[in-house]
Structure 1
Amino acid sequence: MGTLAWLSLALAIVCAYPAWRFARRAWRFRARPTVIAVIATQVAALVALMLLAALTPRPDLGGLGWFAVGLAASLFPLALGHAVQSTRLRAVAVALAAIAGLLTAGIAVIAVAPAFSTVTVAGKRVPVTASTLVDGYQLAVHIPPTASGFSSRDAHLFVPPGWIRNPSSTRPVVIMMMGQPGNPTLGATLDALHSLGTERLDDAPFVLVVDQLGANDKNPPCSNTSAGQLETFLAQDVPDWVKSELPVSGDRDDWAVAGFSHGGECAAYLGAKRPDLWANVIDISGPDKPGEYRSDRTRAKYYGGSEAEYEKYWPAKVMAASDYTDHPMRGIFVAGAADPHFRQQVEDTATAAENAGWKVTYWAVPGEGHSGPTLTKGLATAYNQLIPLWLKTGAILSGDRFLCQPDQPNRSCGVTQVAAVAGTVAIADLSALAVFLGAQLLLFFTRRRIPAAEVDSAS
């Protein structure tokens, strides 16, 4: 048995004697002080229960724990009533009532602890408020470049509201990179998720937007070069940090690497090169090679002027040279239909992925160019595909809550649970009262018949 079950059993054992004493006195019609104490304590316990549900940020996480509190609310008053009524054994009765009270408090704390627990992620406390339970939370985090030494700006992490509601679960993760020039912010991610509605936002993965540039005026290739050990940073330092700091699934199917423009090319390259890390790639408006605008300078500056060396880092070339039989890949490629420069490059990368055996989605956003709506709509398309898959496989917990509907707000759900507890306690009390009164009436009429029978026999 678990701790809660053992405490409940201990409470029941401690309360057994005073409960028996209470019932014995009640049976003899000498229990008015005891009955008053019991009723008053139970009413106070139920009022306190309702206040807890009203004031707790996530009362829905109490679940069955509220019924443990209800059990305590039913048993402890019996012990207290006995202490009030007892005369000869007052010291023993008070001691037993005090012990029962401590056990009751212990049960209450353990049973409904999830409803009161704070949420900590990446070593930082996430406030649990009505706002964060609906919209999630974002925070800045620093990723140490332990293996790479790459100097990056702070990353930004999106904590989904569904995880805040159920922090004992794990979630998928998306590692995102913005374009050049650009900042590692969550604006486009949040716009995309909000555009899909509350349900998708609630079921969202952790999204970590990392800095693959170092500064807005830098444009390093997504490989280890004189510009920095960027590939090591993205394929080792970042995943290592995610695994150690975030409650994420360890299954590669639950990991995605994503990017826009410069970040899109990085995502396609990293996905192609390291299929052991992530099974999903999101490439939005990404070039087909590092330093695409000035490929001749990029080749000369970072790859010693060697075309063969340079092409080792083109996503399509890596895909063509790799076998993904043991690591199935999913690629989502999006470009603006009105983007004269990058649409064809994204399409070529998508074709290469398809030829390499990836499961590919390609979409040219009608009437849109390189950025803006293409980025938001592209991310929305990707999340709209991946989140249902993760829900289906159980990578995202839908958060079934005791007695509640899946879409029921946390406050309403908690009130439903507590109302069920209050109703159960009330039914138990009324049932006991009905049995008690019924038995007393039966005894009353039985005793009235006895003298009449004796008189008849004597005559």
Structure 2
Amino acid sequence: MSTLTWLAAALVAVGAYPAYRFVRRSWRFRATATVVAVVTAQVLGLAVVLLGVVLLPRPDLVGVGWFALLLAATVVPLALGDAVQSAGRRPARVAVAVVAGALAAGVIGVAAVPAFAQPVVAGRAIPVTEKTLADGYQLAVSIPPTASGFQARAAHLFVPPGWLRDPSGTRPVVEMMMGQPGSPTLGATLDALHSLGDDRLDQAPFVLVVDQLGAIDENPPCADVPGSSLATYLQKDVPAWIDANLPASRDRADRVIAGFSHGGECAAYLGAEFPQSWGAVIDISGPDKPGEYRPTLTRTKYFGGSQTAYEETWPANVLASRDYPEPMVGIFVAGEQDAHFRPQVEDTATAAEDAGWTVTYWAVPGAGHSSPTLTKGLATGYNQLIGAWVQTGATSAGERFLCTADQTPRSCGLTQAAAVGGTVAIVDLSALAVFLMVALSLFFARRGVALRRARPSLDD
């Protein structure tokens, strides 16, 4: 059981005796003070709940904890009332009241802790509105090239709505790269996630689209070569920034490197070369080598004319030269009508399968080297990975007690408070009705006995 459950159970146990004494006094028809105390306690408890809805940063995250708060607000006045009535005569009852008060403080503290969870990403507080709860949030971030010195353009980050509903946990993260020429934008990622439906969107990972080009007209290899330390930027600087700025899982199975075209070749190379950093690769329409459309220029410009050094960076060659003792997932997608890049993707996928990876390959029907291939390829990759993450518990939909997905924190908190208040009112009225029925039954039963005893004397 949770800490809150144990504290609530202990509070009930400690408060049982003072409650019994109040009930016993009420049983003797001296119920006025007891009823006033209970009703006043419940009203004050409801006032505390409403105050929490107004003042707490995330009242929607208290959830069933509202019941524990009201329990504390009920038990403590009963215990204090018993202590006051017994003061000077029964010190033990005063001690019970003190213990009940301490437990109540613990219950209130534990129940209120989730309400202070703030969605902060990269040092920025993310607004929690109806829109962001439905669609997530996007922001541009700057990733310093501390280890590499690589001058990248601003990256763009997607914050999933499911995490905004419950920002107390972590999420998987995808490091994504677009093609050349291109810019690090989120358009294709958002189209892919929305195409999967609200459930998958809620369970989505953080997606960080980074710049692996440096400029729209550059075409560097993803390896560290003279004049460029792009591999260090993507494998060290970006993950270090993620660890320092995102509530992201540190499990390699929850880390993904992904890309399209130039970015797809980068993803395949980096996943093959640095399997300790990522547990999955999404390669969409990626070439089988850096600068494949101008290999002579690429070899001369970046590898000093060395064919051997050049070939060492080809993803299939890296895959063939290494062992992969830990599980690796490879998702490879190409357009069915992409006669140029589809065979290259197939070769890389085959090399990954030969290396022991768990490989998925799909040729998108009727598509070429185009946006539909990118969007459908990302949708395929995200759908497969999110499904696996849901099973392992790495992600969740961010469900909130009694609330709809797009309710704001205040609105959701008010819904919860209303449900709690209504439940408490029903319980109080039911208990009062039972008490009155039992009391009246006993009253008339005793009166009947008294009348029967008096009748013989009247007959005489």
Q: Could you tell me which residue of structure 2 aligns to residue 199 of structure 1?
A: 199
| 8 A Cα contact 1:286 1:342, kept in partner | yes
Gaps of 5+ in 1: 90-95
Q: 2:435 corresponds to which residue?
A: 435
- TM norm structure 2: 0.83
How far residue 287 of structure 1 moved from its aligned partner, in angstroms, is 1.6
Aligned equivalent of 1:237: 237
Which residue of 1 is the match for residue 267 of structure 2? 267
Structure 2 partner of 1:336: 335
Inter-partner Cα distance in structure 2 for 1:209 and 1:450: 87
Give the aligned partner of residue 355 of structure 1: 354
- Calculate percent identity across the aligned residue pairs: 59
1:262 to partner: Cα distance: 1.3
Is 2:58–2:118's contact at 8 Å kept on the other side of the alignment? no
Asked if the contact 2:335/2:367 (under 8 Å) is kept, the reply is yes
Please report the RMSD computed on the Cα atoms of aligned residues, expressed in angstroms.
Answer: 4.0
* Distance apart, 1:54 and its partner CA: 9.4
Q: Deviations over 1:48-87 (max 9, x none)?
A: 647866998865532331220221343356579889x98x
Aligned residue in 1 for 2:65: 65
Query: Mean Cα displacement is larger for which, 426-435 or 382-391?
Result: 426-435
Give the Å deviation of 1:348. Answer: 2.3
Distance 1:15 1:170, change over 3 A: same
Q: Which string of whole-angstrom CA distances, capped at 9 and with x for unpartnered residues, describes residues 87-113 of structure 1?
A: x99xxxxxx999989986774454144
Question: In structure 2, the residue corresponding to 1:341 is in which secondary structure?
Answer: coil
Counterpart of 1:446 in 2: which secondary structure? helix
Task: Output the amino acid matched with 2:315.
Answer: P
Amino acid at match of 2:145: P
Relative to structure 1, the CA distance from residue 407 to residue 392 in structure 2 (aligned partners, 3 Å threshold; closer, same or farther) is: farther
Q: Is the 8 A contact 2:165 2:399 kept in 1?
A: no
Aligned to 1:263, what secondary structure does the other structure show? helix
Residue-by-residue CA offset, 1:248-303 (whole Å, 9 max, x unaligned)? 22322222100111111110100111112212111112121112222111111111
**Count of residues paired in the alignment:** 454
Once the two structures are overlaid, the 10-residue window that deviates more, 310-319 or 110-119, is 110-119
Equivalent positions of 1:85-164 (< 5 A) are 107-108=107-108, 110-115=110-115, 117-164=117-164
In the alignment, which residue of structure 1 is the partner of 2:304? 304
Amino acid paired to 2:342: R
Letter of the aligned partner of 1:386 in structure 2? L
Comparing 419-428 with 183-192, greater Cα deviation is found at: 419-428
* Alpha-carbon distance in 1 for matches of 2:382, 2:339: 26
Question: What is the CA-CA distance between 1:44 and the residue it aligns to?
Answer: 6.0
Farther off after superposition, 28-37 or 268-277: 28-37
For the 8 Å contact 1:334–1:346, the answer to whether it is kept is: yes
Instruction: Give 1:347 shift.
Output: 2.4
In structure 2, distance between residues paired with 1:3 and 1:323 = 45
In the alignment, is the contact (CA less than 8 A) between 1:170 and 1:248 conserved in 2? yes
Give, in angstroms, the shift of residue 166 of structure 1.
2.1
Aligned to 2:367: 368
Deviation at 1:420, TM superposition (A): 5.4
The residue type paired with residue 268 of structure 1 is: A
Tell me the CA shift for residue 212 of structure 1.
1.3
The 2-side partners of 1:314 and 1:439 are apart by 87
1:284 aligned residue: 284
Partner Cα separation in structure 2 for residue 17 and residue 357 of structure 1: 65
Distance verdict in 2 for CA 1:117–1:355, change over 3 Å: closer
Tell me: CA distance 1:220–1:270, structure 2 relative to 1, closer, same or farther (3 Å). Answer: same
8 Å contact kept, 2:261–2:286: yes
Q: Per-residue deviation at 1:364?
A: 2.5
Which amino acid letter does the alignment assign opposite residue 238 of structure 1? V
Name the residue aligned to 1:93: none
Classify 1:98/1:321 alpha carbon distance in 2 versus 1 (closer, same or farther; 3 Å).
Answer: closer
Distance in 2 separating the partners of 1:273 and 1:58: 43
Deviations 1:154-183 (A, max 9, x none): 222211111122222222111101122222
Partner of 1:92: none
- Establish whether residue 216 from structure 1 lines up as the match of residue 210 from structure 2: no
Q: Structure 2, unaligned stretches of length 5 or more?
A: 89-95
The offset of 1:218, in angstroms, is 2.4
1:303-322 mapped onto 2 (5 Å cutoff): 303-322=303-322
Q: TM-score, normalised by structure 1?
A: 0.83
Report the Cα distance in structure 2 between the residues aligned to 1:255 and 1:333, rounded to whole angstroms: 17
Aligned to 1:174: 174
Which residue does the alignment assign to 1:415?
415
Task: Report deviation, 1:208.
Answer: 1.1
